[in-house]
């Protein structure tokens, strides 16, 4: 390992350099470091939402909220009609989850949830080769959004993994999630053509289980 103490010509050359030169170098290094941090969105590495993008949006709920999914036992929401939820995507486009006579799956995710971070790419890849049956609509609700938590913003995360389903940006107080009785992430709700809940589940599920939820929505199970 080289000696860290300057000797000979190197030491002599350093002695001849005026102190203001070293001060200038230090200031330049500091300016470059600050510029690099700013360009990367800060030391945390979190991205800023794109122009015109809002990570949370107002949500209007009509109808009776579903009871919270219990940890064990029968689901009291099965057979109940879903509340209608009207909101917007991250860019402000309308996203409504209504009792429109079509079976549907609704996936609730949080950007900071590690289970969601694994589940969404898994489903993204599977849907490319195994699309949902015709007649079953898929919606996503990005909820529990918090700029202080990891993997923010959700709009950039979902775009990065290639998630294509219409996505509602939930309100700051999670109106959509609360209306559907969410208790954990990721959260799935299967709804039949009459607008009634046929199944709800939480946590990471397999692609086969996801297909099973679609089948239940269609009334095939």
Both 19 and 88 in a single domain? no
Q: Domain residues for 32?
A: 8-39
| Domain presence at residue 29 | yes
pTM value?
A: 0.78
Both 210 and 171 in a single domain? yes
| Domain presence at residue 52 | no
Q: Is 6 helix (H, G, I), strand (E, B) or coil?
A: coil
Residue 46's pLDDT band, with cuts at 50, 70 and 90, is: low
Which residue, 171, 170, 189, is CA-closest to 82? 189
DSSP secondary structure letter of residue 43: T
pLDDT score of 51: 72
| In contact, 176 and 170? CB cutoff 8 Å | yes
Both 30 and 137 in a single domain? no
Residue 1's pLDDT band, with cuts at 50, 70 and 90, is: very low
pLDDT score of 52: 86
């Amino acid at each position: 390992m080289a000696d860290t103490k300057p000797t000979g010509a190197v030491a002599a050359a350093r002695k001849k350099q005026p102190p203001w030169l070293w001060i200038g170098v230090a200031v330049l290094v500091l300016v470059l470091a600050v510029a690099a941090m700013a360009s990367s969105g800060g030391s945390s590495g979190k991205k800023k939402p794109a122009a015109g993008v809002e990570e949370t949006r107002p949500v209007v709920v009509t109808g009776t909220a579903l009871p919270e999914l219990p940890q064990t036992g029968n689901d009291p929401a099965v057979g109940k009609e879903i509340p209608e939820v009207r909101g917007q995507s991250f860019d402000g486009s309308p996203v409504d989850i209504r009792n429109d006579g079509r079976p549907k799956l609704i996936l609730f995710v949080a950007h900071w949830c590690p289970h969601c971070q694994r589940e969404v790419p898994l489903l993204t890849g599977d849907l490319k080769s195994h699309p949902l049956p015709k007649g079953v609509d898929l919606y996503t609700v990005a909820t529990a959004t918090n700029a202080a938590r990891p993997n923010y913003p959700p709009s950039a995360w979902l775009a990065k993994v290639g998630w294509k389903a219409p996505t509602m940006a939930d309100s700051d107080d999670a109106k959509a999630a609360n209306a559907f009785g969410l208790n954990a992430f990721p959260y799935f709700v299967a709804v039949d053509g009459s607008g009634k809940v046929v199944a709800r589940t939480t946590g990471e599920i397999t692609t086969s289980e996801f297909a099973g939820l679609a089948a239940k929505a269609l009334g095939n199970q």
